[in-house]
Chain A
Amino acid sequence: MGRTVGVLALQGDFEAHGRMLRSLGAQVREVRVPADLDGLDGLVIPGGESTTMTLGIEREGLAEPLRELGAAGTPVLGTCAGLIMLDRDHLGMMDLRAERNAFGRQVRSFEADLEIDGIAGGPVRAVFIRAPWVAEHGDGVEVLAAVDGHPVVVREGNLLAISFHPELTGESRIHERFLALVRDAAAA
């Protein structure tokens, strides 16, 4: 049976995440106000502009409800700006600090093949767009992939954060991995 996964839809590429999740059998709900979080089995915080998203979360009163969702063990996937939202300086849901635009401006954006721990079947085609990396993290944060020594895929319990955009390349293995977390959490 399909689980209901929310996608934060204040700004950014939330539609691409929605398409990917639906293609994998999940029910998708766009989240713009706190009431949209009720009864979700998982949540995706998409790519977009982290400043715009931070202000939107503040305006809508979403910060505390999002923290409660994470604290309750509901799996959350953050990509790019979503990774930034999860860090100590923003929602504070993960024990890490993100470095924004760490690779540089748009002319430094790139794609590359990336091996990720726990993702079988060869490297993932990863698109990094004005991407962040994890500058530092606590012991509870597991690094699953890095570029030039900088963590770009990390996991802390049911929270998964990624610097790049699996939703843009038709790469479904990341979302499949996330939906496995959603299923396990719902069964627990």
Chain B
Amino acid sequence: MRDEATFTVRAGLAEMLKGGVIMDVVDAEQAKIAEAAGAAAVMALERVPSDIRRDGGVARMSDPSMIRGIQEAVTIPVMAKARIGHFVEAQVLEALEVDYIDESEVLTPADEANHIDKWGFKVPFVCGATNLGEALRRIGEGAAMIRSKGEAGTGDIVEAVRHMRKINGEIRRLTTLDDAELATAAKELQSPLDLVRAVARDGKLPVVVFSAGGVATPADAALMMQLGAEGVFVGSGIFKSEDPERRAQAVVEATTHFQDPARIAAASEGLGQAMVSLESSKLESEQLLAQRGW
């Protein structure tokens, strides 16, 4: 007998993506470039985060025909984004048989209080987090993969670093607590106690953790890997740069050889201009995407 959509099956695909780079693409042509450069998966969306930031307005799930076009163009997994709390967009993406749904703060939230109940879906979900409590709440809701949020569309790595250090620092702290203190920690983290206990026991989250938001260079990708990410998402960083093909290859190479500075140096040579970047500390608070989600 076959058991589909078990937690092992849903979280298992993220295990296969480890050590890889997931790239934002807006059409089939970009998807092919990403695949040929060694991307482990692509994220299909209508506008990359830097354009969403520039254009303003409501950012929604992509047109299904555009997602289908990308599914037909490549054989690697295709992910797509739904708005936070917009469970019907998620139902649509499941009907399209995307391989992973990103319930994403990059799109405009549809529900100010509730995230999607992800247990009700066969397709696995990845969700963003800025700290351990947020990560565990998402896992409690059924997320099968976590990514640090960073500040998407800026090309500034500082927020991704903050979020990854925060998550890992809080995990390390949990491993030093006794049972009574773990119950208090669960309350403070606003997270399910059974997940808090599991993290304290294992010293890691029960799902794969990638980094996202602000990766623009091979060295940025390797930095996040050395800080404990198990792979990276690159949004605007590839296709908003001067030479997307070479930069995509270079980020893939630096992610594999993240512990080898000579290889990161070689990969970083002559890539042309990185994406036009914004310093995230200079953004107004209403422009910060990482604050979306609760």
The yes or no answer to B13 lying at the interface (CB within 8 A) is: yes
Known A10-B19, A106-B13; contact A51-B8, beta-carbon cutoff 8 A = no
The yes or no answer to B15 lying at the interface (CB within 8 A) is: yes
A-chain residues with CB within 8 Å of residue B43 when the two chains form the complex: none
**A residues 108-134 in Cβ contact with B at 8 Å:** 108-113, 127, 129-130
**B residues 241-274 in Cβ contact with A at 8 Å:** 252-253, 256-257
Complex interface: stretch among A12-20, A89-97, A175-183: A12-20
Instruction: Tell me the complex Cα distance, A11–B15, Å.
Output: 10
Contact between chains at B76 and A112 (CB < 8 Å): no
Contact between chains at B8 and A168 (CB < 8 Å): yes
Known A52-B38, A130-B13; contact A12-B19, beta-carbon cutoff 8 A = yes
Contact between chains at B76 and A51 (CB < 8 Å): yes
A-chain residues with CB within 8 Å of residue B54 when the two chains form the complex: none
A-chain residues with CB within 8 Å of residue B98 when the two chains form the complex: 105-106
Known A52-B76, A107-B4, A111-B2; contact A127-B16, beta-carbon cutoff 8 A = no
The yes or no answer to A157 lying at the interface (CB within 8 A) is: no
B170 to chain A, nearest CB (A): 22
Contact between chains at B4 and A110 (CB < 8 Å): yes
For the complex, count residues of A whose C-beta is within 8 A of B: 37
**B residues 1-58 in Cβ contact with A at 8 Å:** 1-6, 8-9, 12-13, 15-20, 35-41
The one of A11, A109, A165 in contact with B20, judged by C-beta atoms closer than 8 angstroms, is A11
Instruction: Tell me the complex Cα distance, A110–B3, Å.
Output: 5
The one of A16, A80, A107 in contact with B97, judged by C-beta atoms closer than 8 angstroms, is A107
Chain A minimum-CB-distance residue to B1: A112
The one of A52, A101, A106, A110 in contact with B40, judged by C-beta atoms closer than 8 angstroms, is A52
Instruction: Tell me the complex Cα distance, A32–B91, Å.
Output: 40
**A residues 66-118 in Cβ contact with B at 8 Å:** 80-81, 100-101, 104-113
A-chain residues with CB within 8 Å of residue B190 when the two chains form the complex: none
Known A32-B256, A168-B12; contact A106-B100, beta-carbon cutoff 8 A = yes
Contact between chains at B16 and A47 (CB < 8 Å): yes
Contact between chains at A56 and B38 (CB < 8 Å): yes
Chain A minimum-CB-distance residue to B79: A106
The yes or no answer to A9 lying at the interface (CB within 8 A) is: yes
For the complex, count residues of B whose C-beta is within 8 A of A: 38
Known A56-B256, A106-B77, A129-B13; contact A9-B19, beta-carbon cutoff 8 A = yes
Instruction: Tell me the complex Cα distance, A48–B76, Å.
Output: 10
B-chain residues with CB within 8 Å of residue A107 when the two chains form the complex: 4-5, 94, 97, 122-123
Instruction: Tell me the complex Cα distance, A113–B12, Å.
Output: 17
Chain A minimum-CB-distance residue to B95: A107
Contact pattern, A 1-29, Cβ under 8 Å of B = 1, otherwise 0 = 00000000111111110000000000000
Contact between chains at A52 and B257 (CB < 8 Å): no
Contact between chains at B75 and A80 (CB < 8 Å): no
B-chain residues with CB within 8 Å of residue A9 when the two chains form the complex: 19, 256
Most chain B CB inside 10 Å of its own CB: which residue of A12, A52, A113, A129: A52
A-chain residues with CB within 8 Å of residue B36 when the two chains form the complex: 55
A138 to chain B, nearest CB (A): 25
Contact between chains at B252 and A129 (CB < 8 Å): no
The yes or no answer to A49 lying at the interface (CB within 8 A) is: yes
Chain B minimum-CB-distance residue to A113: B1
The yes or no answer to B124 lying at the interface (CB within 8 A) is: yes
The one of B6, B38, B100 in contact with A111, judged by C-beta atoms closer than 8 angstroms, is B6
B-chain residues with CB within 8 Å of residue A14 when the two chains form the complex: 18-19
Contact between chains at A16 and B75 (CB < 8 Å): no
B-chain residues with CB within 8 Å of residue A32 when the two chains form the complex: 256-257
The yes or no answer to B220 lying at the interface (CB within 8 A) is: no
The yes or no answer to B99 lying at the interface (CB within 8 A) is: yes
Instruction: Tell me the complex Cα distance, A10–B5, Å.
Output: 27
Known A56-B256, A105-B99, A129-B9; contact A81-B4, beta-carbon cutoff 8 A = no
Interface, chain B (partner A; CB < 8 A): 1-6, 8-9, 12-13, 15-20, 35-41, 75-77, 94, 97-100, 122-124, 252-253, 256-257
Interface, chain A (partner B; CB < 8 A): 9-16, 32, 47-49, 51-52, 55-56, 59, 80-81, 100-101, 104-113, 127, 129-130, 165, 168-169
- 9 closest A-B pairs by beta carbon, nearest first, are A106-B99, A110-B2, A13-B15, A55-B38, A11-B19, A49-B40, A110-B4, A105-B97, A129-B12
